[in-house]
Amino acid sequence: MEALTEIVRMGKVRHIGFSEFPPTLIRESLDLSRERGFEKFVSSQPEYLLLQRDPETEVIPLCRANAISQIVWSPLAEGVLTGKYWPGSPPPADTRATSERMGATVGRRMDEATLERVQLLRPIADRPAVRITQLALAWILREQNVARRSSARRVRSRCPKTLKQRTSTSTKRPSRKWTLSRMNITDDRMAQGRRRAGSRGGL
């Protein structure tokens, strides 16, 4: 904390943040800032998405109460939440799942139960004529503690088609009325998915 404070006050960085801190470390950092005058963290970078909602329990409420914003990483689950991977089918060519360099990390999300649950989003996304990608991002942006612009930048892609789909949602935070109505449907359908897939977490 002392070193981070020094580089802020030297003008080398404007603000400081952390990634994947548990609640205990967040509280310790806040105590150090209050008691010793260190610079305060202003951003948190958790894994937060439809498939990983653990931050909702403690991290987000704690950060919200202390003016720390969320800049989420991998909000589309390394491409799984685009809906392009189908259960029982090999992954399409030229995707992350077929990459020798990146396939190992996305592989942990490619089990049949997860892919079946993701496909349950398809009829929900079709109702307002949006894609699964846009629905997944809108779900994240419904959380007011998520820093919209910073999180939107993290979903940029080398693929122009995917980028266009993503930015059409990311440029504006969805209305609370829209997201609540969509999330009520999502929760109902995800409950069905959990029963079918025999899973307790995520969707």
**SS3 of 108-157:** HHCCHHHHHHHHCCHHHHHCCCCCHHHHHHHHHHCCCCECHHHHHHCCCC
**Sorting pLDDT into bands at 50, 70 and 90, what band is 198?**
very low
pLDDT of residue 173: 54
Map residue 13 onto helix, strand or coil: coil
Rounded to two decimals, the pTM is: 0.73
Q: What pLDDT is stored for residue 174 in this prediction? A: 55
Burial of 194 (0-12, 13-18, 19+ CB in 10 A): middle
**With 60 as the cut, is the pLDDT of residue 78 above it?**
yes
Residue 91 has pLDDT above 70, yes or no: yes
Range among 25-39, 129-143, 147-161 with highest mean pLDDT value: 25-39
pLDDT score, position 103? 83
Q: How confident is the model at residue 159 (pLDDT cuts 50, 70, 90)?
A: very low
Indicate the domain borders of the chain. 77-197
- Does residue 80 contact residue 132 with C-beta atoms inside 8 Å? no
Confidence of residue 203 (pLDDT cuts 50, 70, 90): low
**pLDDT value of residue 104:** 84
What single-letter DSSP state applies at residue 65? Answer: H
Which value, to the nearest 10 degrees, does the dihedral of the CA atoms of residues 179, 182, 184, 187 take? -110
Q: How confident is the model at residue 128 (pLDDT cuts 50, 70, 90)?
A: low
Q: Which of 104, 110, 135 is nearest to 121 (CA)?
A: 135
